[in-house]
Amino acid sequence: MPFHTWAPDVYDGAPTPVTAFMATGVKAAAFAALFRVLIAGFAGVAAWHDILWWLAVMTMIGGNLFALAQRSLKRMLAYSSIAHAGYLLVAVTAGGAAGMSAFIVYVIAYTLMSLGAFAVLSAKGRAGESDVLIDDLAGLAARRPWLAFALAICMLSLLGFPGTAGFIGKWYILIAATSAGQNTLAAILVLTSVVSAGYYLPVIMAMYMKPERIEAAHVDVRLDRWGRAAVVAVVAGLLLFGVWPNRLFDLARSAGESVQPAATTTTTGQ
């Protein structure tokens, strides 16, 4: 958490496409490099494990608690990304093939749901994305039902709702953590995921249960052809991997097994 406090201000001030890239591509690459260095380069060093354990706890708790207080959609997603960094740290802390597999699954799921959420935000915030509040989404389902549906699926997936890729990703991380004896981390992940309902569900409630704040508030909310295609692909991926994750598991398992030989070779050499 202490190393992520820059995220909300940077996310808030950057254009939404740049924010989406920082939230997905940069995070995935950084964590992949961290995982590889710690597992392959420092396999025999025990100190990093305790450090990552506490960082994961602080990041999950801090990110979720700060997100609860946000009314700006962009800042809420920024603090949410901090919490999800904590979930990824749980996979890194678990280590081994199982941890790497869980990491791959969750990175793919998180990338899809973040891209979808920021795409809808860019459509709503043409005049300035940082000014889009959660209450500004009121009535979006009546005016732009397909955009509201896409954002709702992304929010439910970020929450870890069953039937979405986000649920599969968190479930896989829990398996890796408990298999590695990290039961406390797994429990904290579950509890903080429950807390996250306090800021994901209000977005859905605003879109579907509240009327527009002003007449024709969402008339200019639209995406171009490529933007619509991207959002459709994201939603399809989140739902497909949520009910049929076999292909995703196969990819993650292959990546996880690729970590194992290096560790085995090092141990044999000693």
pLDDT value, residue 166: 95
pLDDT tens digits, residue range 131-188?
A: 788 998 998 898 889 999 999 999 999 999 999 999 999 999 999 999 999 999 999 9
DSSP-assigned states of every residue in 62-103: HHHHHHHT--BHHHHHHHHHHHHHHHHHHHHHH-HHHHHHHH
pLDDT in tens, 46-57: 667 888 899 999
Percentage of residues in the chain with pLDDT exceeding 90? 47
Quote the CA–CA distance of 142 and 135 in Å, as a whole number: 15
CA within 13 Å, CB half, 245: 24
Cα separation of 88 and 220, whole Å?
A: 37
pTM to 2 decimal places: 0.87
Alpha carbon 171 to chain centroid, angstroms: 14
Does 204 score more than 80 pLDDT? Answer: yes
Instruction: Note the pLDDT of residue 266.
Output: 40
Of the candidate ranges 114-123, 134-143, 229-238, 260-269, the one whose mean pLDDT is the lowest = 260-269
Predicted pLDDT of residue 43: 61
- In this predicted structure, the answer to whether residue 269 has a pLDDT above a threshold of 50 is no
Domain coordinates of the chain in residue numbers?
2-269
Task: Give the span between the Cα atoms of 211 and 124, in whole angstroms.
Answer: 16
pLDDT, one tens digit per residue, over 93-126 is: 888 888 888 988 999 999 999 999 998 888 886 5
Residue 265: which pLDDT band, with cuts at 50, 70 and 90?
very low
Phi-psi region of 14 (alpha: psi -120 to 50; beta: other; left: phi over 0): beta
CA angle 90, 95, 96 (to 5 degrees): 145
Name which of 17-26, 166-175, 252-261 the model is least confident about.
252-261
Write down the pLDDT at residue 44: 62
Per-residue model confidence (pLDDT) at position 10: 79
* pLDDT value for 88: 92
